[in-house]
């Protein structure tokens, strides 16, 4: 329906009101002598002066004048950097100085990798002591432990409520809905699931029947999104990994690299997170551990250029897979989403259909915002899947059901720890089984698995 002229005026005015309000707030919040932004929206990272530039802009006098800065620099920096930092405000110099990987940091981090990554209680102990353990049983156990709390809650509901003679189905369903909401499934998806369960149940359903019905309903939603893995043909498979800040992209990329290396052959990783401080160093440590090649430029470089280099390198070296690690970006940052599109475009010009896989890393501890993340990222990149990271936490990961339900995005992998091998292919049935498995039976199962694993 077309807008009437009146509505357009209203629209324009509303926008302008917002802008003026914003202007006042911006004015207020910028009062603290921030230099006027000179960044133009045409650059590789529009409107996002990197840390180096920010520092350089406020610059010289600030860092040179304080005793604290001089305190830090002599012992911290390579000579060249210590010399240039306070005196030269040129962003490039700064960026390069910062990006120089001090050999010390890298080499000292390396032995860390040989230590068994601690964390996570008994699961991890067995995992570390038994690297040869059957992958399937390990995975089941880990997922089981990962979602333990949720399961316990659901179970309490199912057995508790249905165990009570004559508990009305409606009451049961309401409680089930709550339990699902507590698992971050979300109000809408929970209602839908419970609605489906309700339909399938006779008034006198047993707890086991409810459990089955709920599991089937969840599996149905998750399985409906399944799609075959991308086929790159002769060209290397290009995987683009994206996500908001702090979800575990870099760690997931490392795990993926190790996995693809074992399954498909040589892997090239692109350090396209050129924004976050030391992100490249972090990825470099991981790539050394996984023994895969890393293509990098200095901090502040155009991420699309790094991705381009990586694709070229993969081609010339006959690598089978390219994995592109990107900077964390909140989905609300329009310009950064454009940057992401650019990476995909540039890679797509080199290899038709690339990036063949576009995966969003979602933190299992995230709530309903993950849906918004997935919606915006898929709007920009046409995602082909989700990696659910940090499922070894106490978090519930239920939001993936909402994501699958609302956006049709399949979960491809789950992250279950901080080790290179802690990435497992996602299996809807297994996930739901673990989510709903009866506590005691599964506990026995875990006990039974232990000798086999050891």
Partner 1 sequence: MFEILAERLEGVFKKLGGQGRITERSIEQALREVRLALLEADVNLDVVAQFIAGLKAKLKGQQLLRSLTPEQQILGMVGEELRAVLGGEARELDLKFRPPVRLLLVGLQGSGKTTTAAKLARWLKVERGRSPLLVSTDVRRPAAIEQLRVLAQAAGVAALDSRSDQDPVEIASRALARADAAGHDVVIFDTAGRLQIDRELMEEAQRLKAAASPNHILLVADAMTGQEAAGVGRGFNERLGLSGLILTKLESDARGGAALSMRLVTGVPILFAGVGEKLEALEVFHPDRLASRILGMGDVMTLVEKARQNYDSAAARQAQRKLRKDDFTVRDFADQLRALRKMGPIADLLAMVPGFKKIAPAADPAEAERELARIQAIIDSMTAQERANHLILNGRRRQRIAAGSGTSVQEVNRFVKQFEQTRKLMKKMAQAGPIARRFGLGV
Enumerate residues 47-86 that contact partner 1 by CB under 8 A: 47-49, 51-52, 54-55, 58, 62-63, 66-69, 71-73, 75-77, 85
Which of the residues 397 through 416 are near partner 1 (CB under 8 A)? 399
Which of the residues 86 through 125 are near partner 1 (CB under 8 A)? 98, 101-102, 104-105, 108-109, 111-113, 117-121
Which of the residues 320 through 359 are near partner 1 (CB under 8 A)? 330-335
Contact 389, 361 (CB under 8 A): yes
H or E element: which one contains 430? Answer: helix 428-436
Which of the residues 155 through 194 are near partner 1 (CB under 8 A)? 178, 181-184, 186-187
Residue with Cβ nearer partner 1 (85 or 237): 85
Task: Please choose, out of 33-41, 211-219, 310-318, 347-355, the segment that lies near partner 1 by the rule CB under 8 A.
Answer: 33-41
Contact 138, 124 (CB under 8 A): no
Question: CA of 227: how far to CAs of 358, 372, 408, in Å?
Answer: 13, 22, 10
Contact 373, 329 (CB under 8 A): no
Tell which one of 152, 394, 408, 448 touches partner 1 (CB under 8 A).
394
Q: What six digits make up the tokens of 155?
A: 């179970």
Contact characters 222-261, partner 1, x per CB under 8 A: ----------------------xxxxx-------------
450: DSSP letter: H
Question: CA of 6: how far to CAs of 13, 15, 17, 244, in Å?
Answer: 11, 14, 16, 39
Tell which one of 161, 162, 222, 285 touches partner 1 (CB under 8 A).
285
Q: What six digits make up the tokens of 27?
A: 């004015």
CB of 394 to partner 1, least distance (A): 5
CB of 417 to partner 1, least distance (A): 10
Task: For Cα atoms 262, 263, 265, give the angle at the middle one, nearest 5 degrees.
Answer: 70
Tell which one of 23, 90, 352, 448 touches partner 1 (CB under 8 A).
23
CA–CA separation, 315 and 321 (whole Å)? 10
Q: Does 286 bind partner 1 (CB under 8 A)?
A: yes
**Cis bond upstream, residue 389 (ω within 30):** no
CB of 362 to partner 1, least distance (A): 10
């Amino acid at each position: 329906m077309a807008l009437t002229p009146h509505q357009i005026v209203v629209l324009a005015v509303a926008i302008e009101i917002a802008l003026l309000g914003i202007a006042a707030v911006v004015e207020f919040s910028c009062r603290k002598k921030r230099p006027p932004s000179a960044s133009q929206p045409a650059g590789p990272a529009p409107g996002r002066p990197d840390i180096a530039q920010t520092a350089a802009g406020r610059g010289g006098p600030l860092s040179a004048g304080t005793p604290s800065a001089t305190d830090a620099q002599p012992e911290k920096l390579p000579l060249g950097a210590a010399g240039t930092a306070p005196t030269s405000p040129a962003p490039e110099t700064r960026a390069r100085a910062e990006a120089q990987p001090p050999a010390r940091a890298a080499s000292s981090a390396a032995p860390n990798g040989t230590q068994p990554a601690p964390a996570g209680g008994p699961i991890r102990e067995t995992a570390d002591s038994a690297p040869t353990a059957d992958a399937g049983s390990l995975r089941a156990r880990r997922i089981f432990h990962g979602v333990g709390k949720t399961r316990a809650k659901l179970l309490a509901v199912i057995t508790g409520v249905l165990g009570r003679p004559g508990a009305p189905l409606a009451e049961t369903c309401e409680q089930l809905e709550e339990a699902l909401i507590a698992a971050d499934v979300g109000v809408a998806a929970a209602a839908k699931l419970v609605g489906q369960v309700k339909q399938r149940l006779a008034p006198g359903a047993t707890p086991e029947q409810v459990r089955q019905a709920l599991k089937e309903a969840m599996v149905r939603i998750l399985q409906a999104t399944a799609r075959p893995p991308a086929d790159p043909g002769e060209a290397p498979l290009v995987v683009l990994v994206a996500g908001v800040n702090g979800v575990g992209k870099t760690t997931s990329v490392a795990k993926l690299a190790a996995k693809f290396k074992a399954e498909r052959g040589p892997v090239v990783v692109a350090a396209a997170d050129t924004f976050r401080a030391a992100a490249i160093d972090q990825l470099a440590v991981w790539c050394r551990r996984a023994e895969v090649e890393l293509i990098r430029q200095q901090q502040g470089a155009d991420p699309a250029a790094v991705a381009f280099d990586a694709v070229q390198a993969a081609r010339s070296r006959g690598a089978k897979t390219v994995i592109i690690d990107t900077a964390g970006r909140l989905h609300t940052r329009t310009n950064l989403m454009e940057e992401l599109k650019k990476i995909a475009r540039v890679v797509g010009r080199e290899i038709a259909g690339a990036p063949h896989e576009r995966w969003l890393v979602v933190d299992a501890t995230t709530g309903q915002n993950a849906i918004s993340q997935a919606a915006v990222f898929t709007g920009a990149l046409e995602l082909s899947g989700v990696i659910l990271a940090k499922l070894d936490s106490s978090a519930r990961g239920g939001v993936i059901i909402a994501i699958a339900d609302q956006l049709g995005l399949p979960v491809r992998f789950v992250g279950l720890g901080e080790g290179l091998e802690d990435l497992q292919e996602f299996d809807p049935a297994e996930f739901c089984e673990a989510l709903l498995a009866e506590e005691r039976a599964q506990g026995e199962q875990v006990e039974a698995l232990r000798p086999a694993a050891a």
